[in-house]
């Protein structure tokens, strides 16, 4: 067994149909830098949001926000899908636990 494997790729010739397909995909995906952005917020708010994304939220604050914001009661489209019982019986216990957790989370975020 080799410690690494060399993979040869082919770069499409400029102007070929493959190159045109690549260009179409890149054009479709767009340029991240040209994405439309909203208005700027104060530097304090930007720093707070950045800290939440980088470090996470304080556990007590997360629980408080969770309890203050109940889910919507009259929007059934936001309910999590129910797993077919035959499929559920084939899943491992860890997969069932993960699904249960995600269902509870989706029910609350609803």
Global pTM exceeds 0.75 = no
User: Band of the pLDDT at 78, cuts 50, 70, 90?
Assistant: confident
Instruction: Write out pLDDT tens, residues 15-63.
Output: 676 677 777 777 777 665 556 677 888 888 888 888 877 877 777 877 7
User: Residue 93's pLDDT is what?
Assistant: 92
User: Residue 110's pLDDT is what?
Assistant: 56
- Residue 2 pLDDT greater than 60, yes or no: no
Spell out a b/e string for 86-105, using b for 16 or more CB atoms within 10 Å of the CB, else e: eeeeeeeeeeeeebeeeeee
């Amino acid at each position: 067994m080799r410690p690494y494997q060399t993979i040869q790729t082919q770069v499409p010739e400029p102007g070929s149909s493959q190159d045109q397909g690549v260009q179409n995909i890149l054009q479709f995906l767009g340029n991240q830098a040209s994405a439309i952005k909203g208005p700027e917020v104060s530097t304090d708010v930007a720093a707070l949001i950045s800290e939440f994304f980088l470090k996470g939220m304080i556990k007590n604050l997360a629980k408080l926000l969770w309890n203050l914001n109940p889910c919507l009661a009259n929007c059934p489209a936001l309910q999590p899908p129910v797993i077919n019982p035959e499929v559920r019986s084939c899943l491992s216990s860890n997969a069932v636990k993960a699904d249960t957790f995600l269902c509870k989370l989706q029910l609350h975020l609803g």
